[in-house]
A and B are shown apart, each in its own frame.
Chain A
Amino acid sequence: MTDTLTPAAARSTDTDDVARLLDHTGSRVADERLDPWIADVDAAMLRELYRDMAMTRRLDAEGVALQRQGHLGLWAPAHGQEAVQVGTTWACHDDDFLFPTYREVGIELVRGIEPADFVMVWHGAKHSSWDPSVAHVANPQIIIGAQSLHAVGYAMGIQRDGGDQVAVAYFGDGATSQGDVNEAMVFAASFESPVVFVCSNNQWAISEPVGLQAQYPIAGRAPGFGIPSMRIDGNDVLACVAAMRWAADHARSGLGPAFIEAVTYRIGPHTTSDDPTRYRDPAEVDYWRARDPLARVEAYLRRMGAFDDAFRDSVQADADRFTAAMRAAVVEATPPPPQRLFENVYAEPHTGIEEQRAAFMAYLDGFGAEGGAA
């Protein structure tokens, strides 16, 4: 008989109850479940992980600056969450298909998305920039949790095509309260679909603490759906790589879905419109600043003798180039033409939208050379 009595303790708030390979001082710790998955990660690979994380931090800071300077309508800072974004993406195969949220710029960076494509969405020029079929990354999702079902459906398609890819659903702690995330786990488990759920638990859903979404650790829910799970230190990039390799291998092997709760922290506001000083204790932020995902990799690499000024300067130069291109793209952008309004509403001719477009363009033409087009 199944024992359905569970402990009542509010352990979702115990953020240190996680599996990790690199502690916040940059010391390597052993974990027999995770260790085998990073046996090949040498100093050179770790430097690449560091490079992608540092570039993510730099482009994220640039995003905030561009918003403050009026070039972007909004930005959702990723500061503090670089390890889970970069590490999990890094552990995927290039053709694994990822369904991110609006905050996952580290995924986009690792997948080679162009600098301009990070900003045009937030600049307001278009709703998405890259081709999902090339990058194998869906357009960023804003409706909380909706993409988790898309990932499961994509994985159902992989099963039908006989492919060995996996689909990855990214979402936050707040999304675990949504019906869609729970329905996604039901569908994935029932059909044994090759999908990995990655919950970036950054402790806050705008102003609502994780305890309002979950009393018990979020990773504890997945086994109830029949999905194996792991709760890891989301600020430890090695643990993120290892856990994702475990989860993707599980899914790829035909064993069905897997779930990762990456316990991390959002250092900045939810978005640039938000004021976290209204709801957050500064001591909490200091606690997490001391657990910075980049600093611990740097410390570890220094111990290995693999972090020097030349390396730091080359990372800095890469980040500067990337962010300069980002800035140039948004500063030099021209406003989209008005006919763009009507493009791609439908894939096939539609008399309603065609009539409206013709009428509006005729109206604009009435302004002559001045053009109503500005």
Chain B
Amino acid sequence: MTQLTLGKALNAGMRRALADDDKVLVMGEDIGKLGGVFRITDGLQAEFGPRRVVDTPLAESGIVGTAVGLAFRGFRPVVEIQFDGFVYPAFDQIVSQVAKLHYRTQGRVTMPLTIRIPWAGGVGAAEHHSESPEAYFVHTAGLRVVAVSNPQDAYTMLRQAIACDDPVIFLEPKRLYHAKGEVDVDADIADAAPLGLARVVREGSDVTVLTYGSHVTTALDAALAAEDEGISLEVIDLRSISPVDYAAVTASVRRTGRVVVTHEASREGGVAAEIIASVTEKCFHYLEAPPVRVTGMDIPYPPAKLERYHLPDLDRILDAVDRVMGRPNSLSEVSA
């Protein structure tokens, strides 16, 4: 086991994938000598050369579109989108080409692209640098969408995503790039839990809290605080938000009977809405209370000095826990 930051774990995962398979190549803006604006690709170009670790022109549709052509030729491109808010110019290539070519060609062409996105807010960034676009991609058939929350998953899931024959939107919480953890860099990905499985991060009996990415940490903090009040939260890191591991989710909800889903993306048409709809369909008779969402506001991502109001924190999660537990909460007056 090695202590690595989440960023270094991603770097190690890519290095391993490049070494293991000469069809893997890494592409993006500033990823070569600079090592990426977050240094996630640091040293890879020096080790594997500019043909495998490619600095591209500044054109996101171009990056993803040429990766599609490389996949046509049998390559496995790993694409870095510099910031979450810059993925939109590549949206057409991702949803109309990357996601659909396997279907459109009746399975004759595979699109094993990994699209890495430094993702979400909480780091005091400028406009367009803190977006949570996951719902757009979750809504698109043909894509897999995963989010990592710790260095070991970053290392393992990135290698799994690269090895996967389907395109994977790979979300990396910027807030956690410097978070450290133990990583088994010698682990065989064949022995790891398959991409797509959720993980119970903390067991509990009163409320199931479903989340992903940097919010796993927030949810765990909330679980500690709830414990002081005698409430036991089960925290599940979904890891994959398309597909969602409903076997794990429903097993938990059927025990606890109460659900809170939290993410920092805004609410309307979001991932929490989808998960609550599915959980309600699958577990209605087990539910003790209506499930509750704790999300970002339905606003454009706010300026950095305001983002702490937008981002769900421990207290907002606890307020939702009070609601599903039938305890006094911020809506008690409103509903009374």
Nearest residue (CB) in A for B57 is: A186
B164 lies within 8 A of chain A by Cβ: yes
CA distance A79 to B164 in the complex (A): 43
Q: Do B104 and A127 have beta carbons less than 8 Å apart?
A: yes
B66 to chain A: closest residue by CB:
A153
CA distance A148 to B246 in the complex (A): 40
Asked if A160 contacts B96 (CB within 8 A), the reply is no
Query: B31-65 CB contact bits vs A (8 Å, 1 = yes)?
Result: 00000000000000000000100001101011011
Residue ID in chain B nearest A153 by CB atoms: B69
Task: Out of B72, B110, B141, B196, name the residue touching A153 (CB < 8 Å).
Answer: B72
**Distance in Å: Cβ of A95 to nearest Cβ of chain B:** 12
In contact, B68 and A150 (Cβ under 8 angstroms): yes
Known A127-B104, A127-B106; contact A347-B61, beta-carbon cutoff 8 A:
no
Q: Mark B154-182, 1 if CB is under 8 A from A, else 0.
A: 00000000001110000000000000000
Tell whether, in the assembled complex, residue A347 and residue B102 are in contact, meaning their CB atoms are under 8 Å apart.
yes
Which residue of chain B is the closest to A130 with respect to CB atoms? B108
Task: Report the nearest A residue to B89, measured CB to CB.
Answer: A179
Contact between A155 and B69 (Cβ–Cβ < 8 Å)? yes
Asked, given contacts A139-B104, A187-B59, whether A351 binds B243 with beta carbons under 8 Å apart, the answer is yes
- Docked complex Cα distance between A190 and B54 (Å): 12
For the complex, is B327 an interface residue (Cβ under 8 Å from A)? no
Please state if A132 and B109 are interface contacts (CB–CB under 8 Å): yes
Q: A143-B97, A153-B69 are in contact. Are A187 and B62 (CB under 8 A)?
A: yes
Are B57 and A190 in contact, with the CB atoms below 8 A? yes
Instruction: Kindly list chain A residues whose C-beta atoms are within 8 Å of the C-beta of B61.
Output: 149, 179-180, 183
CB neighbours of B69 from chain A (8 A): 99, 149-157, 167
Q: Are A160 and B72 closer than 8 Å at their CB atoms?
A: no
Contact A183 B103 (CB under 8 A): no
Known contacts A128-B105, A150-B65, A351-B196; is-contact A160 B75 (Cβ 8 Å): yes
A163 to B: closest C-beta gap in Å: 9
Q: A156 contacts which chain B residues (CB < 8 A)?
A: 66, 69-70
The verdict on A3 contacting chain B, using a C-beta distance below 8 Å, is: no
Q: Are A143 and B65 in contact (CB under 8 A)?
A: no
Q: Which of A24-32, A288-296, A338-346, A365-373 contacts B (4 or more CB under 8 A)?
A: A338-346
Return chain B residues, CB-CB under 8 Å to A345. 102-103, 141-142
Least CB distance, A54 to chain B, in whole angstroms? 30
* Cβ of A194 to closest chain B Cβ, rounded Å: 12
Count class of interface residues, chain B = 35 or more
Residues from chain B with Cβ under 8 Å of A138 in the complex: 72, 109
- Tell me the bound Cα distance from A186 to B68 in angstroms: 16
B269 within 8 A of A: no
Once the chains bind, are A183 and B70 in contact (CB under 8 Å)?
Answer: no
Q: Tell me the complex Cα distance, A152–B66, Å.
A: 6
**Chain B residue at minimum C-beta to C-beta distance from A186:** B57
Q: Out of A128, A158, A348, A355, which one reaches B164, CB within 8 Å?
A: A348
Instruction: Please determine whether B68 and A149 come into contact, CB atoms closer than 8 angstroms.
Output: yes
Min CB distance, A303 to chain B, in Å? 43
Whether B106 pairs with A128 at a CB distance below 8 angstroms is yes
A110 to chain B, nearest CB (A): 20
Complex alpha-carbon distance, A344 and B93, angstroms = 19
Asked whether any CB of chain A lies closer than 8 Å to the CB of B244, the reply is: yes
- Whether B73 sits at the interface, judged by CB under 8 Å, is yes
State whether B75 touches A347 (Cβ < 8 A).
no
CB <8 Å contact, B73 and A154: yes
B68–A153 touching, CB < 8 Å: yes
Give the chain A neighbours of B105 by CB distance below 8 A. 127-128, 132, 139, 344
Selected from B51, B59, B93, the residue in CB contact (under 8 A) with A160 is B51
For residue A76, give the distance in angstroms from its CB to the closest CB of chain B.
17
Nearest CB in chain A to that of B143: its residue: A346
Does A33 lie at the interface of the complex (its beta carbon under 8 Å from any beta carbon of B)? Answer: no
In whole angstroms, what is the CA distance A147 to B153 when docked? 35
A-side contacts of B75, CB under 8 Å: 157, 160
Contacts of A153 in B (CB 8 A): 65-73
B residues whose Cβ falls under 8 Å from a Cβ of A: 25, 51, 56-57, 59, 61-62, 64-75, 89, 92-93, 96-97, 101-110, 112, 141-142, 144, 164-166, 196, 242-247
* Further 12 A-B residue pairs, CB within 8 A, beyond A153-B71, A343-B107, A346-B144: A132-B109, A143-B96, A149-B62, A149-B64, A149-B69, A152-B62, A154-B69, A157-B74, A180-B61, A347-B165, A348-B165, A353-B141
A residues neighboring B (CB under 8 Å): 97, 99, 126-128, 131-133, 138-139, 143, 146, 148-161, 167, 179-180, 183-184, 186-187, 190, 343-348, 350-353, 355
